[in-house]
Amino acid sequence: MTISRADCAALDEQDPLRDFRDEFVLPEGVVYLVGNSLGAPPKGAAARVARTVEREWGHDLVGGWNAAGWWEQPLRAGDRIAPLIGAGPGEVVAGNTTSIAIFQTVAAAVRLRPGRRVIVADLTDFPTDGYIVQNLAEVFGHEVRDIGDIGNIGNIGDTGALEALDQDVAVVLLSEVNYRTGARLDVGRVTAAAHAAGALMVWDLCHSAGAYQVDVSAADFAVGCTYKYLNGGPGAPAFLYVNPRHHGSARNVLSGWYAHAEPFAFEPGFRPADGVRRFGVSTPHVLSFAGLDAALDIWDRVDLAAVRAKSVALTSLFIELVESSGAPGLRLATPRDPAERGSQVSFHHADGYPVMRALIDRGVHGDFRAPDILRFGFAPLYLRYVDVFDAAATFAEVLHRGLWDAPRYRSRLTVT
Amino acid sequence: MTISRADCAALDEQDPLRDFRDEFVLPEGVVYLVGNSLGAPPKGAAARVARTVEREWGHDLVGGWNAAGWWEQPLRAGDRIAPLIGAGPGEVVAGNTTSIAIFQTVAAAVRLRPGRRVIVADLTDFPTDGYIVQNLAEVFGHEVRDIGDIGNIGNIGDTGALEALDQDVAVVLLSEVNYRTGARLDVGRVTAAAHAAGALMVWDLCHSAGAYQVDVSAADFAVGCTYKYLNGGPGAPAFLYVNPRHHGSARNVLSGWYAHAEPFAFEPGFRPADGVRRFGVSTPHVLSFAGLDAALDIWDRVDLAAVRAKSVALTSLFIELVESSGAPGLRLATPRDPAERGSQVSFHHADGYPVMRALIDRGVHGDFRAPDILRFGFAPLYLRYVDVFDAAATFAEVLHRGLWDAPRYRSRLTVT
């Protein structure tokens, strides 16, 4: 059975999420498959940010801290992110960056497991996670144990490594969805394996939050960014989840005045705030929070089950169209079973970099990750089935006709 | 000799900085003396931030990382801040918050002084500094030694405490200008005293950067915020200075991917970048950097000697006008010698909170810090001599006529 563009247009007609596309700014002539790196801007972002600059800051000046509620942004945004990750109110605080949140949560976890000296991580995962724990371990006198490339096909269902965790392990840090392959770990199974070994579990949700309904309720801590599927803007605040069972005991090594029980008492001695507020750090980045606010105005209305259903449909369609085209040189890097992937499809190609540049030149925007990965992210809120059809057709044409094999695509620039 | 409003208007006429006022948004009918808490918005901020949201993010999407130079914002902004604090190019990186930068620099300093277990700080200073080092010391097994209220009149010129520093001290953390009193320490003398004891010196420049020409060149590390005198916007990125003599040896415990020698090589192992880049952390808060950019567009053109001269003139004028009015109940909290203060004037008043609310009600915006401090910040770029005259006149009237002693001013709200 061949899928036609008309079939895809019919699917778009029936898509329960179709109206959300109108709420995003998308450049003409581009199929934007990089929403897993930086989400497209909500149309409301410009006005929301302008309001903060012109009315809140411009009119209220320092009074904006109260009048516009700037001080409460980290907890207010946290409460809006919470339902997207299976958390409750008062369990998530937003701010700073994912790397900083990893530092805070892993440091808190090792302090809750005194005597255990090992931090388990996948060092082939997005590097900042590994860098943060390597530097933290060096200072704290801990050891980082590399669990291996758990996000690779073949390893994805294998929790054997986790079952072998021993009594030295204080904490396990893993990404739910792998940034290269899109492979998705089973949060429930992995968390249970960590707990069975007496360790705590920290999840990095950068590539899962906003892609489907995450459930961190069994985990101890979680972190993630808001600028990928959540569309909060470049460098938007990260988020940090603490399971309520740790609210009384977990300590935040990065406790600035936001984390104090009474920040405006200006007391000389530190006393931690109750609840997740103690994992705040200091003054929020107000303009960046304004961008995130605009995105959460959309997410407040989204049915995550519909997002997941469409994500599975889009990614499955892309795989099927690309593979059935017989385009040469490709090997799927993403698990074929939808249950084992996020909202991303990656292919290996020996000349991945020039291939991606040729695609971008033709309006299909994905990205490249060394050594040979072509990544395509599928944001269900603004992508159509016809976009997937067009992207796959262009991809097939570029490969069949060898259009990527030109000097202008082979010259290497910085890739972000 | 009595100073008249006409005298002040004449001073404004001759003010070499007078044209800068037109570059800021200032509400009608307000004398804004809270620029030491949140600086007024540059008029260019709205357009600059809109450009980032609408053109860079909206048009280039993920391509903004290269096309708009987002990735380099921390070092680019750092290089523009550097001349304001006596640093050179490649010595300052911007991003995150002051609290986080304090954590990074103090943690780096103690690692450069192994065997020394004491962190010296003034716990009556702005509390986040003390909170950060208390939490850091607990984890690192260090001890915080409180040097006492060094920002109080009477203590300001007294470096006796510093001369008594012993061989246990790894690092001294102090603010150049005290947030309550505006008292200014002698950076050269205090840094020399710390060095004489074999300790490293970290300066917090939150209340000095943008108020005059700072000189940190003898210090080891410095941090500061950009949302006070620098007008970068609410929660604008902080900055962090590392003396070049430590670039090769200082380690950043919060090393995320920004701090890596080759972040886009996605290597599993951490290798620190050269220079101050190794004190970056991770993905920059792009929208908040846009606000800061607009402010630095102004600072690039400012003569800091003129800023200091006007600052001394404005603060001296305010003290003279207020004190000569005979307003009851006041005691100056700021050093009378201009060399010993920043760009702020504070008075003690037993009923400081209702007095400040009565002032704000009459368009004179200062702020209050418990237990009894009325703070007035003087930002030379947008304040006029006539503003100082009007503020002092209102202040005198409120006190002489007891206008603050009304129930509506005594009811206590959150004070930020």
What is the tens place of the pLDDT at every residue in A245-263? Answer: 999 999 999 999 999 999 9
Pick the residue with more confidence: B164 or A379? A379
pLDDT of residue B163: 75
Tokens of A275: 């609840």
> Which chain A residues are within 8 Å of B53, Cβ to Cβ?
41, 45-46, 49, 233, 291
Whether A113 and A191 share a structural domain: yes
Task: Taking residues B222-237, report their average pLDDT.
Answer: 98
Residues B289 and B309 in one domain: no
Q: Are A240 and A104 in contact (CB under 8 A)?
A: yes
For strands A200-204 and A331-332, give the pairing: unpaired
Question: Average pLDDT of A168-193?
Answer: 95
Residues B129 and B97 in one domain: yes
Q: Which of B145, B283, B369 to mutate to test the interface with A (most CBs of A within 10 A)?
A: B283
Query: How close, in Å, is residue A242 to chain B by CA atoms?
Result: 19
CB B190 within 8 A of CB B162: yes
Residues B348 and B397 in one domain: yes
Mean pLDDT confidence for B388-397: 98
Is residue B415 in a domain? no
Q: Are A62 and B255 in contact (CB < 8 Å)?
A: no
pLDDT at B48: 97
Residue A154: Cβ-neighbour burial (10 angstroms; 0-12, 13-18, 19+): exposed
- pTM for the whole structure: 0.97
Domain edge (last residue) among A299, A318, A353: A299
Cα(A76)–Cα(A69) distance, integer angstroms: 9
Residue B4 in this model has a pLDDT that exceeds 50: yes
Alpha carbons within 13 angstroms on the beta-carbon side of residue A1 total 4
Is B413's pLDDT higher than 60?
no
Starting from the edge strand earliest in sequence, which strands make up the sheet with A118-121, in order? A92-94, A239-242, A221-224, A200-204, A169-175, A118-121, A143-146
Q: Are residues B273 and B367 in the same domain?
A: no
**Cβ within 8 Å of B, A 42-101:** 45-46, 49-50, 52-54, 56-59, 61-62, 64-66, 70-71, 96-100
Q: What percent of chain A has pLDDT over 70?
A: 97
Does A293 map to a domain?
yes
Chain A positions in Cβ-Cβ contact with residue B32 (cut-off 8 Å): 61
Distance between CA A362 and CA A29 in Å, rounded?
Answer: 9
> pLDDT per residue over A136-180, tens digit each?
999 989 999 998 887 777 676 666 777 778 999 999 999 999 999
In this structure, the answer to whether residues B229 and B259 fall within a common structural domain is yes
Pairing between β-strand B364-365 and β-strand B31-32 as defined by DSSP bridges: parallel
Cβ distance of A282 and B41 shorter than 8 Å? no
Token reading at A156 = 């994805």
Complex confidence, ipTM: 0.96
* Averaged pLDDT for residues A31-41: 97
Inform me whether the pLDDT recorded for A94 exceeds 90: yes
User: Which residues 332-351 of A have a C-beta within 8 angstroms of B?
Assistant: none
Going by C-beta distance under 8 Å and a sequence separation of 6 or more, which residues neighbour residue A301?
A: none
Last residue of a domain, one of A273, A299, A325: A299
pLDDT, tens digit, 9 for 90 and up, residues A265-302: 999 999 999 999 999 999 999 999 999 999 999 999 99
Q: In what order do the strands lie in the sheet with A373-377?
A: A331-332, A344-348, A373-377, A367-369
Task: Please name the residues between 191 and 220 in chain A that touch chain B, using a CB distance below 8 Å.
Answer: none
Report, as an integer, the average pLDDT of B387-415.
Answer: 89
Same domain flag for B328 and B258 = no
Residue-range definition of the domain harbouring residue B13: 5-32+303-410
pLDDT score of B343 = 98
pLDDT at B386 over 90: yes
- Please tell me whether residues B229 and B265 are part of one structural domain: yes
- Can you give the pLDDT at residue B158? 67
Which residues, 6 or more positions from B278, have their beta carbon under 8 angstroms from its beta carbon? B247, B250, B251, B252, B255, B259, B272
Tell me if A254 is assigned to some domain: yes
Classify B16 as helix, strand or coil: coil
Q: Which of residues 245-274 of B touch A (CB under 8 A)?
A: 251-257, 259-260, 263-270
Q: Is B54 contained in some domain?
A: yes
Domain count, chain A: 2
| Identity of the amino acid at A49 | V
Question: Which residue of chain A comes nearest to B180, CA vs CA?
Answer: A266
- CA of B1 to nearest chain A CA: how many angstroms apart? 36
Whether B140 sits inside 8 A of A139 (CB atoms) is yes
Q: What is the pLDDT of residue A227?
A: 98
Residue of B nearest to A136 (CA): B253
Active-site entry in B48, B228, B278, B384: B228
Contact B96 A97 (CB under 8 A): yes
CB A401 within 8 A of CB A23: no
Interface of A with B in 224-243 (CB under 8 A): 225, 227, 233-237
Lowest mean pLDDT among A162-171, B46-55, B152-161, B166-175: B152-161
Nearest residue of chain A to residue B26 (CA atoms): A58
Residues A258 and A323 in one domain: no
